[in-house]
Amino acid sequence: MTLWSAIRIILYIITGICILVGIIKYFRDEEVSWTSFFFAVLVFLITLIPVESDVEPPRVPEVTPPPIESTPEPAPVLTSPTPAPENTPTPAPVPTPTTLPTPHPPLNIGLSTVVPLSISMGTSEERVGNMTHSGQVDEHFFTPNIDGNYRFVIADLVSGGVDVRITDSNGFQLENRNSADGGINLTLEGGTTYTIRISWRSGSATRVNTIASSYTLRIWHQKPTVDTSEYTEISDSMQFSSQINNYTFTATRDGEHRFVVSGLTSGGVDVRITNSDGFQLAHRNSADGGIGITLTAGTTYSIRVSWRSGSATRVNTVASSYLLRVWYQKPTVDISGYSGVTDSMQFIGQVNNYTFTADRNGEHRFAISGLTSGGVDVRITDSSGFQLANRNSADGGITVSLDAGTTYTIRVSWRSGSATRVNTVASPYTLSITYP
């Protein structure tokens, strides 16, 4: 029962009491009690006020679910009691064997590529004159195009002799020489005008008064400097006594380089190498062999090939050709994972560098074989540059313990005392690698 239902019951009772009181009053006093009547009507009207609980909600039809068929329970299965498991020891896991990669076949590294450069003969000029009388002086003016070494030679005199005197633009005498003593070599500045005075020599005047004597003034010019950075064989020549041929060379990588002059048809030359500051790094006579030198990548060097003193006689009229060979440092090669490498030695002092990253721990062996001449040294260092082993190839290979994942450097260098043939004959070799 709700609260409002209880209140209405009470109000019904009050209404009934009011009606009963009015009836009694009417029969007793013979008058109508309007107060009781109106109060009873009011209370009755209040009871007629509906509430939510008086409204009957709509009926939802009942849905009868279909009958559920009963499934008979399966008959119990009688099983025999399971015996308690015995304490059997668990076998240790069998480790899976690690499959190591099979080394690749030997890596073949070819010979250094030959890149030739042929340089033409230098410029020269001839001026012809005549000596017709005693005391005659001929003047010739000469302005060189570039700085360098120049030579002045008097030739083809029919009779007598002359003196040659050269002065600069200020009249300062640079050289004075009798034609019978050979030509004049001078270092001149490009763009400056020089005066060459040719005068009849005292003591040779008798015949020239009646017989003219012609002569030829030959002037040999300085060749321009040539950049040989991209070449390995430079063909050039010497055309006059004390000639100087200049070259520049910019190293492409750090390491050992060698410069060798060969093929001279006469005389000899000196080879001089200087750095970018003009400091002399090496100087050698071509007869004593080439120059081996360690160069720095990106640095430009000057190479000067000059005619040697004592070999000047023929070069005034006969050119002497030569070949300047430049041997480069080979690039470092990664030989990790290979069973070996086939390479070669092509010049004295050559060093071939390799890197090797071990793919497993253990003893590795490196051995040299197949050299056709000379011998090599094999040196192995770790990533810090610490030497692990160093051995002459004639003493057998190197066995060394390496760590997986570590990179090592292997250096194969030409041995002292085996240098004679390597200037012209390459010596191949095989570096074999045995893995653990």
CATH of the domain at 356: 2.60.120.380
Do 362 and 288 share a structural domain?
A: no
CA 128, CA 112: separation in Å to the nearest integer? 50
Question: How remote is the C-alpha of 436 from its chain's centroid?
Answer: 32
Do 430 and 336 share a structural domain?
A: yes
Ranking 29-33, 129-133, 346-350, 412-416 by mean pLDDT, the lowest is 29-33
pLDDT of residue 117 exceeding 80: yes
CB atoms under 10 Å from CB of 399, counted, come to 13
Question: Is 78 within a domain?
Answer: no
CA 126, CA 220: separation in Å to the nearest integer? 9
| Tally of domains within the chain | 4
Using a pLDDT cut of 70, give the percent of the chain over it.
75
Question: What DSSP element (H or E) covers 393?
Answer: none
pLDDT in tens, 384-394: 999 999 998 87
- Residue 23 banded pLDDT, cuts 50, 70, 90: confident
Question: Is 79 within a domain?
Answer: no
Region 91-96: mean pLDDT is: 68
CA 208, CA 265: separation in Å to the nearest integer? 39
CA 107, CA 334: separation in Å to the nearest integer? 10
- Which residues are CB-neighbours of 56 under 8 A, at least 6 positions away? none
Do 179 and 209 share a structural domain?
A: yes
Which of 327, 355, 372 lies at the terminal end of a domain, its last residue?
Answer: 327
Do 379 and 349 share a structural domain?
A: yes
**Closest residue by Cα to residue 301 from 374, 206, 229:** 229
CB-CB contact of 240 with 269 (8 Å)? no
CA 127, CA 214: separation in Å to the nearest integer? 11
Question: Is 84 within a domain?
Answer: no
Do 144 and 202 share a structural domain?
A: yes
- Which residues are CB-neighbours of 57 under 8 A, at least 6 positions away? none
CA separation, residue 241 to residues 169, 183, 310, 314 (Å): 25, 9, 9, 8
In this structure, what token pair is assigned to residue 259? 């410069």
Which of 265, 294, 327 lies at the terminal end of a domain, its last residue?
Answer: 327
Do 321 and 346 share a structural domain?
A: no
Give me the pLDDT at residue 207, please. Answer: 45
Region 263-291: mean pLDDT is: 89
Do 275 and 216 share a structural domain?
A: no
Do 297 and 336 share a structural domain?
A: no
Give me the pLDDT at residue 325, please. Answer: 93
Phi-psi region of 242 (alpha: psi -120 to 50; beta: other; left: phi over 0): left
pLDDT of residue 424 exceeding 50: no
- What rounded mean pLDDT belongs to the chain? 81
Which residues span the domain enclosing 157? Answer: 124-220
Do 335 and 322 share a structural domain?
A: no
CA 424, CA 246: separation in Å to the nearest integer? 24
Region 411-426: mean pLDDT is: 62
Give me the pLDDT at residue 49, please. Answer: 63
Do 196 and 258 share a structural domain?
A: no
pLDDT of residue 422 exceeding 50: no
**Cα radius of gyration (the chain):** 59
Do 250 and 197 share a structural domain?
A: no
CB atoms under 10 Å from CB of 241, counted, come to 21
- Residue 356 banded pLDDT, cuts 50, 70, 90: very high
pLDDT of residue 190 exceeding 80: yes
CA 301, CA 135: separation in Å to the nearest integer? 50
Question: Is 118 within a domain?
Answer: no
Region 264-288: mean pLDDT is: 89
Question: How remote is the C-alpha of 369 from its chain's centroid?
Answer: 30
Question: Is 104 within a domain?
Answer: no
Give me the pLDDT at residue 122, please. Answer: 87
The tally of CA atoms less than 13 A away on the side-chain side of residue 386 is 4
Do 279 and 214 share a structural domain?
A: no
**Closest residue by Cα to residue 237 from 332, 122, 340, 327:** 122
